[in-house]
Structure 1
């Protein structure tokens, strides 16, 4: 059973919440401009663009994005953008929550891709345990790359005298980020895949169609 079914949240209500967060991101963007803070502007702007991705995937690539999956994506990027207004600095657990949510989305993308490959290629057989381990390793690897990017951006900002768009708080914070990234991946591997069956089916169909056209 999906989380929304347990909570009895209708698809209409989920779409309303998604729209409210999208509008809030526009508000955060203007707050960034008003404060002259490029970090807020960049993060809010990118977050808003990410919220448009589900509609593009559904319209242009026929990948079904139900209300729950769209809300999942929107919550992750909204909380990240909201954090730039202060929660990242003032709420000790906020960064952990956003990392876990972001990691859950990365895990979902990895899971959907691997499952589609498994379904498309008859010679490929991926046992559930392998997929579980792959999701964890995929997210950990992506998390390491992200931390390196944060470190590099912070170093460049120090060298050129600007303000870092992404902030790196030290080795301890990095280790905690990777820990909560892993936690988000585990949550997706155990309970989040129910939202991804339609996406997996659509990706498999596209691979099948691509194979037929190549023949």
Structure 2
């Protein structure tokens, strides 16, 4: 009961941000702004990811992690309203937050596999390098995706859903992706213990089945 009560503020905050994202989505539709509407829809869908993982896969995330994921996509959706263009540091914040989520996914999966089999041993120093490398690899993939999304939009004369501002912007984005990965490597691994346990349990159940 006490744990449930402690989680209530996080749940209320998640619900409030979900309503905020819906408002952004509606604003994008009414303004016929494709990028705002699509990113709002994407952000809203991501907020239900922890529930889907828990219900369908038995992977439980702590209320704090659920709040962190929701905050990242909420800030991204808000940024599409003009903050990305009008506030120079806003993109750095959202990239760092998003990178912590990617790093967390990489760490939780790798650590669960490490616990699953004795043939795989991942020392702490290697895990730190893995977290940074995994996050940067995803960051590069995302930048390439933004680049081709912009080319495709220009080719058909449509508004780009994902925006890529050039090589300098890409380098800076990857720099802040690294910051997010380093933060998880240094301070976030204990926070992810519940997620690691859930993933490990899911692997064991799959093996037994």
**1:11 Cα offset (Å):** 2.1
Distance 1:210 1:11 in 2: 30
- Aligned residue in 2 for 1:94: 90
Count of aligned residue pairs for this structure pair? 205
Distance 2:35 2:73 in 1: 14
Q: Which of 127, 131, 152 is residue 127 of structure 2 equivalent to?
A: 131
Q: Which of 196, 199, 208 is residue 200 of structure 1 equivalent to?
A: 196
Structure 1 stretches of 4+ moved >3 Å: none
Distance 1:89 1:115 in 2: 38
Deviations 1:169-195 (CA, angstroms, capped at 9, x unpaired): 111111000000000011111112222
Deviations 1:13-63 (CA, angstroms, capped at 9, x unpaired): 111111100000000000001110010010000100000010111122222
Distance 1:209 1:67 in 2: 24
**More moved, 49-58 vs 195-204:** 195-204
Q: Which of 170, 177, 188 is residue 173 of structure 2 equivalent to?
A: 177
TM-score of the aligned structures, taking structure 2 as reference length: 0.95
Deviations 1:55-81 (CA, angstroms, capped at 9, x unpaired): 111122222222101000000000001
What do you get for the CA RMSD once the two structures are aligned?
A: 1.2
For structure 1, the 5+ residue unaligned runs are 1-9
Deviations 1:134-192 (CA, angstroms, capped at 9, x unpaired): 01000111111110110101111111111100111111111000000000011111112
- Aligned residue in 2 for 1:4: none
